[in-house]
Amino acid sequence: MKITVAGVGYVGLSLAVLLAQNHEVTAITTTEEKAEKLNRWISPIRDEEIERFFAEVRAGERELHLHTTTDKAAAYRSAELVVIAAPTNYDDKEHYFDTSAVEDAIEQTLAVNPDVLIVIKSTVPVGYTDSVREKYGIDHVLFSPEFLRESKALYDNLHPSRIVVGAYDHQMEDARMFADLLLEGARAEETRAGQEPQEIRTLIAHPTEAEAIKLFANTYLAVRVSYFNELDTYAQMKGLNTAQIIEGVCLDPRIGGHYNNPSFGYGGYCLPKDTKQLLANYRDVPQMMIEAVVKSNSVRKDFIAEQILNKNPETVGIYRLTMKSNSDNFRASAIQGVMKRILDKGVKVIIYEPTLEAETVFMDCVVENDWKRFSEQCDVILANRFDERLESVKDKVYTRDLYGRD
Ligand X SMILES: NC(=O)c1ccc[n+]([C@@H]2O[C@H](COP(=O)([O-])OP(=O)(O)OC[C@H]3O[C@@H](n4cnc5c(N)ncnc54)[C@H](O)[C@@H]3O)[C@@H](O)[C@H]2O)c1
To the nearest whole angstrom, how small is the minimum distance from the Cβ of residue 351 to ligand X? 22
Could you tell me how many residues of this chain bind ligand X (CB under 6 A)?
24
To the nearest whole angstrom, how small is the minimum distance from the Cβ of residue 37 to ligand X? 12
Stretch that binds ligand X, among 146-154, 247-255, 276-284, 395-403 (CB under 6 A): 146-154
Touching ligand X, residues 107-136 (CB under 6 A) = 122-123
Is residue 148 part of the contact set for ligand X (CB under 6 A)?
yes
Is residue 7 part of the contact set for ligand X (CB under 6 A)?
yes
- In terms of CB distance, is 36 or 247 closer to ligand X? 36
Q: How many CA atoms lie within 13 A of 181 on its CB side?
A: 25
- In terms of CB distance, is 88 or 113 closer to ligand X? 88
Residue number with the smallest Cβ distance to ligand X:
9
Q: What character string, x for contact with ligand X (CB under 6 A) and - otherwise, covers 233-272?
A: ------------------------------------xx--
Cα dist from 275 to 48, 239, 378, whole Å: 28, 31, 34
SS3 letters across 205-259:
ECHHHHHHHHHHHHHHHHHHHHHHHHHHHHHHHHCCCHHHHHHHHHCCCCCCCCC
To the nearest whole angstrom, how small is the minimum distance from the Cβ of residue 127 to ligand X? 16
Q: Would you call 270 a catalytic residue per the annotation?
A: yes
- In terms of CB distance, is 90 or 398 closer to ligand X? 90
The residues, ordered by sequence, that sit 6+ positions from 52 with a Cβ below 8 Å of its Cβ are none
Is residue 86 part of the contact set for ligand X (CB under 6 A)?
yes
- In terms of CB distance, is 147 or 362 closer to ligand X? 147
* Cα angle 30, 31, 36; round to 5: 125
| Binds ligand X (CB under 6 A): choice among 9, 166, 185, 207 | 9
To the nearest whole angstrom, how small is the minimum distance from the Cβ of residue 105 to ligand X? 4
Catalytic-labelled residue, pool 250, 270, 365, 378:
270
Stretch that binds ligand X, among 101-109, 203-211, 337-345, 379-387 (CB under 6 A): 101-109
Stretch that binds ligand X, among 100-108, 204-212, 233-241, 384-392 (CB under 6 A): 100-108
Stretch that binds ligand X, among 82-90, 275-283, 288-296, 351-359 (CB under 6 A): 82-90
- In terms of CB distance, is 85 or 382 closer to ligand X? 85
| Binds ligand X (CB under 6 A): choice among 3, 4, 5, 10 | 10
Stretch that binds ligand X, among 18-26, 80-88, 320-328, 353-361 (CB under 6 A): 80-88
To the nearest whole angstrom, how small is the minimum distance from the Cβ of residue 54 to ligand X? 16
- In terms of CB distance, is 302 or 328 closer to ligand X? 328
Is residue 88 part of the contact set for ligand X (CB under 6 A)?
yes
8 A C-beta contact, residue 264 and residue 334: yes
To the nearest whole angstrom, how small is the minimum distance from the Cβ of residue 229 to ligand X? 20
The residues, ordered by sequence, that sit 6+ positions from 368 with a Cβ below 8 Å of its Cβ are 350, 351, 352, 358, 374, 377
Biggest CA-to-CA distance, the chain: 66
Amino acid at 100: S
- Check the CA dihedral 77-117-189-38 and report its sign: positive
Q: Which residues belong to the active site?
A: 270
Residues that bind ligand X (CB under 6 A): 6-12, 28-30, 85-88, 101, 104-105, 122-123, 146, 148, 150, 269-270
